[in-house]
Amino acid sequence: MLESTGFSPYLIINNIIACLFAICYGYQLLFILVSVSRRNPRFPQADPGKYAVMICARNEEAVVGQLIDSIHDQEYPQELIDIYVIADNCTDDTAKIARAAGARVVERQNKEKIGKGYALESLIDDITRDGTEWKYDGYLVVDADNLLEKHFVAEFNNAMKGGYRVVTGYRDSKNFADNWLSASYAVWWLREARYLNGARCLLGLSAQVSGTGFAIRGDLLEELGGWHYFTLTEDVEFTFAMVSRGERIGYTPYAILYDEQPTVFKQSWDQRIRWIKGYFQAYARYGAKMLGRVFTRHSFPCYDMLVNTLAGTVLTLVTLVFYASAILSHAIQGVPVWEPLLYLGEFIGVCYGMLFVIGCITVHTEKEYIYAPKSKIARYAFTFPLFIFTMLPMIICVPFDRKIWPEIVHTRAVDIEEIKGGQPQPEVTGD
């Protein structure tokens, strides 16, 4: 922190803030060190089990066919893979295209129970409609805009036969190079895979499920009585539910999927506001139970999930509000505002610098998974902190947002070879 020749309450405030960040995130330095020095081991090859691949789709006619093709291309016995699509509140030809591609389609129209959690519940209920028979070894959840590497199902099978009942994989990007926004999302997911989930499992902790690319073993889903997670971030809620009951979520970096990232800021704004609202909903449901396990069971996974999800954004927002109030107070009183401005600038600079370093480390170590020109990779490392900073006004706007589950349009109809081959992608302008 800055040196001061005399007493400064702002110096004390900045030091307190630094201590709070260290308490919340200091352990992630260990995560980085572990992830850089070690790679997650590959699970031993196991006898193939039978899997249901469950695809949630809402108006995904442009991309769902390519996903199903990538499932048919799996290097895994095709007779042991059943593909299910839940065409949820669709108004296009998603269901027709999915059926033509070889999927079993369930169509759902419900304008009251809106969201992926309800779609999953409906699909699982349909699959297991015959009562207590859960005929699959595992249930894989993917989104309609995803593409799956050829060993995706096999790697999940190995991990689940290796002892985990919930497993998540490696989330790569279809469109890193589109613009700063898609690149920032990609860095976010790559960092989560390598430096959060990878480190957690190397240290014997629990990974976090993030929306798509995860699997649940059949016996666990039967034990849970199906799917009952309906917040706006059903993935975070499910993760909280698992760690609060002592379930350890596994991770395999060898099960790779490609995900289409938003390129328009309005869509990103709507999506991330939904995330933030969902975080708060998940906290409301499981926060007390997880906090209880932190103190009574000394559960580090519970602590990790509680602080990692939203604590940094809230701390940053509180700090900015404090300094904005201090600057306004000085201005009203006719007192020079340079001191709070100086310390505010220091705080922003330190935050930007730390996020920039994290982004640089991520793109450097994961460069073999980033299919984009090197010049763009370097450029977008500078914009990754701005992506995180834009979460701050979103938190302020959350109480005024009335959208339930805004639709994200997916149009990137490519196959994996096109992504890896560096095929020219259309330039995105504006947002």
In a domain, 427, yes or no: no
In a domain, 127, yes or no: yes
153 contact partners, CB below 8 Å, separation of at least 6 = 51, 53, 71, 74, 76, 81, 140
Question: Six-digit token pair at 37?
Answer: 């020095």
CA-to-CA distance for 316 and 21, rounded, in angstroms? 9
In a domain, 339, yes or no: yes
In a domain, 425, yes or no: no
In a domain, 424, yes or no: no
Q: Residue 157, Cα to own-chain centre: how many angstroms?
A: 22
Alpha carbon separation from 397 to 25, 82, 321, 372, 408 (Å, rounded): 25, 42, 14, 34, 19
Composition of the chain by helix, strand, coil, percent to 5: 55, 10, 35
CA-to-CA distance for 53 and 187, rounded, in angstroms? 26
Angle, alpha carbons 233-52-366 (nearest 5°)? 60
In a domain, 1, yes or no: no
CA-to-CA distance for 57 and 87, rounded, in angstroms? 5
In a domain, 154, yes or no: yes
Give the pLDDT of residue 4. Answer: 45
Question: Six-digit token pair at 294?
Answer: 């932190």
12 C-beta neighbours (distance < 10 Å), count:
12
Phi, psi of 310 (to 5 degrees): -145, -10
CA-to-CA distance for 19 and 389, rounded, in angstroms? 20
Radius of gyration of the chain (CA): 22
CB-facing half-sphere around the CA of 383: CA atoms within 13 A: 15
The CATH number linked to 262 is 3.90.550.10
CA-to-CA distance for 336 and 403, rounded, in angstroms? 42
What is the count of structural domains for the chain?
1
In a domain, 431, yes or no: no
Domain encompassing residue 362: 8-37+48-419
Phi, psi of 40 (to 5 degrees): -65, 130
Strand partners, 142: 55
SS3 139: strand
Angle, alpha carbons 95-100-103 (nearest 5°)? 70
Per-residue pLDDT of the chain (431 residues; tens, 9 = 90+): 444 445 678 888 888 988 999 999 999 999 999 999 999 999 999 999 999 999 999 999 999 999 999 999 999 999 999 999 999 999 999 999 999 999 999 999 999 999 999 999 999 999 988 654 668 999 999 999 999 999 999 999 999 999 999 999 999 999 999 999 999 999 999 999 999 999 999 999 999 999 899 999 999 999 999 999 999 999 999 999 999 999 999 999 999 999 999 999 999 999 999 999 999 999 999 999 999 999 999 999 999 999 998 888 888 888 988 998 999 988 999 888 998 899 889 889 999 999 999 999 999 999 999 999 888 888 898 999 999 999 989 988 998 998 888 888 898 889 899 998 754 344 333 33
Give the pLDDT of residue 100. Answer: 97
Give the pLDDT of residue 6. Answer: 55
Give the pLDDT of residue 58. Answer: 96
Spell 123-157 as b/e; 16+ CB within 10 A means b.
Answer: bbeebbeeeeebebbbbbbbbbbbbbbebbbbbbb
Model pTM score: 0.92
User: Which ranges of 297-424 would DSSP assign to H, the alpha helix?
Assistant: 300-333, 338-365, 374-389, 391-397, 416-420
